[in-house]
């Protein structure tokens, strides 16, 4: 079983969160969809690996996860990426960086000290100073709302280059994760449909099965320990948090009205957003 020990925000503009976990006993592991790239250091069965993971566009059963493993991860901020490892090439995949000793790995022609939970910000600062980690300001600006005077195709090109995804795919993933958080907090299925902007319960169910690998009822039963990581990665969706602000920006992009003002026209949120564009 995977147990997520802790996470924390970062002072670095390139990093959204830092986390660590361990496993006890061998259990099947479910990897859920995410719109972020992340660096993950693994220590499993005496082996060390340093991996750059790309965004995941669907939930995937990963087989049994052995006990006794330890993991530490750095979730990059939206728009932050390593130009030598373009996110477009990492969608639903990953690249293992060569580990040359128990304390070092090889990247961009140099040996780098393996980071840890405590010094992650310093490690990221080193990468940024060397120009190996950059951040696209267009992505961050677009997440706050529509960019006036900016061609939507230009925004999409920036998104694909720095995140590997389209803006619409990113928000479908974020909406599913948001709905998961609501269900984990005890919000009813119908209220989750309304608060997360789904058309109806079947729409919610299809989205969660694709991106989270669970139905709404299964999430309410808290049947998978991996889903605890959703809470870590979205800061619990409290009002005023980065994720809740960005989700509000999603509705701004799509021309959403408050629920009390919405039309009963039978279109889903994605179609309304496309019509707004």
Residue 263 has pLDDT above 70, yes or no: no
Reduced to 3 states (helix: H, G, I; strand: E, B; else coil), residue 55 is: coil
Rounded to an integer, the average pLDDT of 89-110 is 95
76, with CB counted inside 10 A (0-12, 13-18, 19+), is: buried
CA dihedral sign, ordered 189, 190, 195, 198: positive
Contacts of 163 (CB under 8 A, 6+ apart): 35, 37, 55, 78, 79, 81, 87, 139, 170
Residue 267 has pLDDT above 50, yes or no: no
Give residue 266's Cα distance to chain centre.
Answer: 29
What is the greatest pairwise CA distance in the chain? 61
List, as one string, the DSSP characters of 215-251.
-HHHHHTT--GGGHHHHHHTGGG-TTSHHHHHHHHHH
Q: What is the pLDDT of residues 40-82, one digit of tens each?
A: 999 988 899 999 999 999 998 877 777 788 999 999 999 999 9
Q: Count CA within 13 A, CB hemisphere, residue 17.
A: 17
Q: What is the pLDDT of residues 2-17, one digit of tens each?
A: 788 888 999 899 999 9
pLDDT at 255: 44
Q: Are 97 and 50 in contact (CB under 8 A)?
A: yes
Q: What is the pLDDT of residues 165-188, one digit of tens each?
A: 998 999 999 999 999 989 988 899
Model pTM score: 0.80
Q: What is the pLDDT of residues 106-163, one digit of tens each?
A: 999 999 999 999 999 999 999 999 999 999 988 888 887 777 778 888 888 999 999 9
pLDDT at 272: 34
CA distances to 44, 243, 253 from 15, rounded to whole Å, are 25, 14, 24
d(CA 222, CA 184) in angstroms, rounded, equals: 7
- Packing angle, helices 242-254 and 167-184, rounded to 10: 130
Q: Are 173 and 211 in contact (CB under 8 A)?
A: yes
d(CA 260, CA 277) in angstroms, rounded, equals: 22
Closest Cα partner for 76 from 118, 31, 134, 158?
134
Residue with tokens 């998104």: 159
């Amino acid at each position: 079983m995977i147990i997520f020990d802790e996470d924390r925000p970062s002072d670095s503009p390139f990093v959204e969160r830092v986390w660590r976990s361990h496993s006890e006993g061998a259990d099947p592991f479910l990897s859920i969809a995410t719109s972020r790239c992340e660096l993950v250091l693994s220590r499993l069965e005496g082996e060390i690996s340093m991996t750059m993971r790309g965004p995941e566009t669907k939930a995937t059963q990963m087989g049994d996860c052995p006990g006794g493993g330890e993991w530490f991860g750095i979730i990059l901020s939206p728009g932050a990426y390593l130009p030598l490892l373009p996110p477009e090439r990492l969608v639903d995949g990953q690249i293992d960086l060569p580990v040359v000793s128990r304390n070092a790995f090889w990247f961009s022609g140099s040996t780098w000290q393996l980071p840890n939970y405590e010094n992650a910000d310093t490690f990221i600062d080193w990468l940024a100073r060397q120009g190996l980690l950059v951040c696209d300001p267009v992505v961050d600006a677009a997440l706050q709302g529509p960019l006036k005077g900016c061609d939507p195709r230009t925004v999409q090109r920036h998104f694909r280059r720095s995140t590997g995804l389209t803006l619409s795919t990113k928000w479908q993933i974020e909406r599913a994760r948001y709905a998961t958080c609501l269900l984990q907090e005890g919000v009813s299925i119908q209220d989750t449909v309304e608060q997360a902007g789904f058309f109806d319960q079947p729409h919610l169910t299809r989205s969660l099965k694709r991106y989270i690998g669970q139905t709404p009822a299964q999430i309410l039963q808290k049947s998978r320990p991996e889903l605890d990581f959703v809470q870590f990665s979205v800061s619990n969706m409290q009002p005023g948090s980065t994720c809740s602000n960005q989700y509000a920006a999603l509705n701004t992009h799509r021309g959403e009205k408050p629920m009390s003002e919405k039309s009963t026209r039978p279109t889903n949120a994605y179609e309304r957003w496309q019509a707004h564009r």
